[in-house]
Structure 1
Amino acid sequence: VIALVLPAWPASALVGVLAVALALGPAGVPARTFGRAVRWPSAFIAVGAVTAVVEVGSGGLGWAPDAATRAGALVGHALAGSAAVLLLATTTPMSDLLPALRRARVPAAVIEVASVVYRLLFVLLDSLHTIREAQTARMGYSSLRRAYRSSGALAAAVLIRSWDRARRMQEGLAGRGLETGLRVLPETLPSSTAFLAATGVGLAGIVAASLGLA
């Protein structure tokens, strides 16, 4: 939130650097894993920055008068927000996020959809990997034409399997009389006073530095 609300400089820069430092340092996330995770968001951010600095006028395409400022603010906010979200995703299990969303009074339907998608995601990824290995063994990607054909068959097979697994899950849950959501007993973890205090001090420092330099 701080990275999006406060000015891009220096708030977004501070948030981004802090998120990356925490992920690679105390959290112990491998640099290669974090880099691969931020690769695709960075591509979308780059495309968004290009569209923000180009304007269409009577003379055709041209640079916006404040192109550098707009691009810098967009890239800064987006990269800082992405780094913060990736820090959360790489350090917090889904089993802890869902109860937190429930305590935050997020609609139950949204939480159930997120839970089901998370359960099926890894099953479908495993199916995709297995099918692709079989296609590769049959020389399905030996040429561009075969690669297009194999990719289409792969997408169709994964789609059919996803529909089939979703149907079977729905039938199984309906057979058990599930009406109010899939409830589990969350694990209660002790909170760290030192961690909460350090977090508060760090956020207050970023806000103070941003407002002082803005």
Structure 2
Amino acid sequence: GDPRGNWFSGSISFDEKRSNPNHPNYYEITSPSGVKWKRQWLIPKEKMDELIKQDKIYWGTKPEYRNVPREKIFNGEETQIIPKNIIDGAESTRNAQNYVDLILGEKQCFDNPKPVGLIQRFIQIANMKKNIIVLDFFAGSGTTFEAVVQQNKLDGGKRNCILIQKPEKIQKQSRFSTISELCLARMKAVIPPKDKITCWKLHEKE
């Protein structure tokens, strides 16, 4: 019945048992019928006051207004969600191992690489601007770099990526002498033609 269009209600608070009285978002609000709700909310008081003023809080049916307050979310609006504790659909380390073997043309030259989809999911969950710089201090086989490349393809982003990897020796027989060399080869294999890679080598005295 809202003249602004169709909507559904989204949770905007923790229940009383899970609420933290010491949290900055722990405060009290009052429904149009005078029912008071004191708990931990997902938004600060200023934002809550704004939503109430805009009639974007659902209090339940008139005239009681006794339902737990929830936010009205209209069709087409973006809203924040809490990610699941379990990340599924991001493949496994076995899939990642087979993929790295395929892309580098060598069997098990790098042990236990992470799935690209897993790191890509972390980028999505972070929900930051599409022109950020993603930094990986322990680059390994370069999964983070490829995840950034794939996410840019997916949403048209212009993220850049900085990888840092010590030239650790690869112990097994391989055409790559160091992990950093392997990482660079993977980066070159997945980068779009229009983009570029810049490399710096830091020489340490040993």
The alignment's TM-score, normalised by the length of structure 2, stands at 0.20
- Structure with the bigger percentage of strand: 2
The alignment's TM-score, normalised by the length of structure 1, stands at 0.19
- Structure with the bigger percentage of helix: 1
